[in-house]
Amino acid sequence: MRLGVFGGTFDPIHLGHLRAAENAREAMALDAVAFVPAGRSPFKGEPISSSWDRYAMVALATACHRGFEPSERELAREGPSFTVDTIRALRREQPEDEIFLIIGSDTVRDLPSWRDSAELFAQCSVVAVNRPGEPRPAALPAGVTWVDGPGLAVSATDVRRRVKEGRSVRFLVPDAVADYVAKRRLYR
């Protein structure tokens, strides 16, 4: 199986995330893309919504796409969620799979600072999906494949701000996610 792994805080997941995953799925001929909400990102502060709210939103957002699946693998892990730990676990559990780590183009420059980045590159292929407004780096690290495709200029920060201001987030997040955010009164 060719498995894409797309991690992030997903606070909340939005249509830009889904479009990026679809661009990677098509370009790399992936059989599935696992969306892995981070329990606690080593690069960001504490997420605003709970781990399980973020997982629920990922599950709702991916429910209608046969190739997308939510993963709770990082949520029960203690401490920060390091990508290399997730990839190591997948390698142990599914040694026959080809694993493709999907990242946003804005993350490429930070890859060398990731925990055990050399091992990460040895354990999986890294796929950088362009984000609107983010130029392609002049040089990509060895082992990184660049994927172009239509992107959506949506950010979780903007979605949270709009909710806090009482503005609509329809057509920025899947309808089921917008309904969940409203019902759970997230980001207010």
Q: What is the pLDDT of residues 8-51, one digit of tens each?
A: 999 999 999 999 999 999 999 999 999 999 987 766 667 799 99
Predicted TM-score (pTM) of this structure: 0.94
14: which 2 tokens?
A: 């939005």
Task: Give the alpha-carbon dihedral of 168, 171, 176, 177, to 10 degrees.
Answer: -70
For residue 79, pLDDT beyond 90: no
List the beta bridge partners of residue 113: none
**Mean pLDDT confidence for 106-123:** 89
151-184 pLDDT tens trace? 999 999 999 999 999 999 999 999 999 999 999 9
Pairing of strands 144-147, 125-129: parallel
52-56, 127-131, 134-138, range with the lowest pLDDT: 134-138
**Mean pLDDT confidence for 72-79:** 86
For residue 90, pLDDT beyond 70: yes
- Cα–Cα distance for residue pair 8/17, rounded to 1 Å: 9
Q: Which residues of 10-43 are buried (b: 16+ CB within 10 A; e: fewer)?
A: bbbbbbbbbbbbbbbbebbebebbbbbbbbbbee
- How confident is the model at residue 165, as a pLDDT? 98
Helix (H) or strand (E) holding 108: none
Q: Residue 93 to residues 70, 97, 125, 184: CA-CA distances in angstroms? A: 17, 9, 17, 35
- How confident is the model at residue 47, as a pLDDT? 77
Position with higher pLDDT, 147 vs 42: 147
Q: Which fold does the domain 2-152 belong to in CATH?
A: Rossmann fold (3.40.50)
